[in-house]
């Protein structure tokens, strides 16, 4: 009697199959990919200098020469939107990476070592979360001044508490598992136990959290730049391009100056959030176990 071979897909394959079934997430991923390509290869999609002034083309509406019009200094809006997307996306990714690293380190310390370490880290987390983040960011930005690096550190340095709490909860569940106890019995160091045996189990819950952190960082940068405390001009970002909307005359009579970056910001954030929803469903541990 012939024996049938049973193949079991890896968790990654199961997660990818589940993610592909999430139609909204797949569409969002495709749209997000287009935006990233446009911004990453901006010189290939525009022949203008994002910082180049053209006094003969000031405040022109959309036309064949300038698809999305020009601003108050004659700079091409389409070009500045693409180049501004570069900066906004870099800030979002870098700030999310920084906040994730801080959150992982503090969450691991709190969850694994417990006792006084847990108390200290969690009290610091409570203090940071007790104040409205935007108020702290505005205060810090006012003292440090605007700048790309400053914005990344301000956002990343204040958005880590949710990640720290997530990691702490996961580590607390794993700390007393049999495989961790066995690793301690074998004499493995805490560093090896944490990095090789515990953190891999935390990756899946973190994936969706990272995507939401990126979208939140992009929105925060836009808010800071809109208030004049983000990346300084003339460097374009979606936030400081929308800052032009503070002039009511521009908002009413020359909407082409702020609508493109606003649409790009809204679309990018929505796509990232939809992708995050899809990843969260795809990496649901109970669903993964059921589909293997």
Please name which of 261, 269, 210 lies closest in space to residue 240, comparing C-alpha atoms. 261
Domain locations in the chain? 87-174+204-291
Predicted local distance difference test score (pLDDT) of residue 114: 80
Predicted local distance difference test score (pLDDT) of residue 2: 47
Predicted local distance difference test score (pLDDT) of residue 6: 46
What is the percent of the chain with per-residue pLDDT over 70, rounded to a whole number? 93
Q: Are 218 and 268 in contact (CB under 8 A)?
A: yes
Residue 57, both tokens: 């083309």
Predicted local distance difference test score (pLDDT) of residue 145: 74
**Chain segment 221-244, per-residue pLDDT in tens:** 888 887 777 788 788 888 888 887
Distance CA(153)–CA(155), nearest Å, equals 6
Q: What end-to-end distance do the CA atoms of the chain give, in Å? A: 26
Q: Which CATH number fits domain 87-174+204-291: 3.30.200.20, 1.10.3720.10, 3.30.70.3040, 1.10.275.10?
A: 1.10.3720.10
- Mean pLDDT (whole number) for 199-218: 84
- The residues, any chain, with a CB within 8 Å of residue 148's CB and separated by 6 or more, are 87, 90, 91, 231, 235
Please name which of 128, 90, 91 lies closest in space to residue 106, comparing C-alpha atoms. 128
For residues 209 and 106, which has the higher predicted lDDT (pLDDT)?
A: 106
CA dihedral 156, 224, 280, 194 (to 10 degrees): 0
Residues in the chain: 292
Please name which of 223, 231, 232, 213 lies closest in space to residue 137, comparing C-alpha atoms. 223
**Chain segment 119-136, per-residue pLDDT in tens:** 999 999 988 888 877 788
């Amino acid at each position: 009697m012939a024996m049938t071979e049973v193949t079991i897909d890896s968790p990654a394959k199961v997660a990818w199959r589940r993610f592909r079934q999430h139609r909204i997430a797949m569409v969002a991923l495709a749209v997000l990919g287009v935006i990233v390509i446009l911004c990453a290869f901006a010189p290939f999609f525009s022949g203008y200098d994002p910082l180049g002034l053209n006094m003969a083309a000031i405040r022109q509406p959309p036309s064949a020469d300038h698809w999305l019009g020009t601003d108050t200094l004659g700079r091409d809006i389409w070009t500045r939107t693409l180049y501004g997307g570069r900066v906004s996306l870099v800030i979002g990714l870098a700030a999310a990476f920084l906040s994730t690293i801080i959150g992982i380190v503090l969450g691991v310390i709190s969850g694994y070592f417990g006792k006084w370490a847990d108390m200290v880290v969690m009290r610091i987390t409570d203090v940071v979360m007790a104040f409205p983040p935007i108020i702290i960011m505005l205060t810090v930005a006012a003292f440090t001044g605007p700048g790309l690096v400053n914005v990344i550190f301000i956002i990343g340095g204040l958005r880590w508490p949710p990640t720290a709490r997530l990691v702490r909860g996961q580590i607390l569940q794993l700390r007393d598992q049999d495989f961790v106890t066995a690793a301690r019995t074998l004499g493995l160091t805490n560093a090896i136990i944490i990095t090789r045996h515990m953190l891999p189990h935390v990756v899946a819950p973190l994936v969706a959290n990272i995507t939401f952190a990126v979208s939140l960082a992009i929105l925060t940068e836009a808010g800071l730049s809109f208030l004049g405390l983000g990346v300084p001009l003339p460097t374009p970002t979606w936030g400081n391009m929308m800052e032009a909307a503070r002039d009511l005359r521009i908002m009413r009579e020359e909407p082409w100056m702020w609508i493109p970056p606003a649409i790009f910001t809204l679309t990018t954030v929505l796509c990232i959030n939809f992708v995050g929803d899809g990843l969260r469903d795809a990496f649901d541990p109970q669903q993964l176990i059921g589909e293997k």
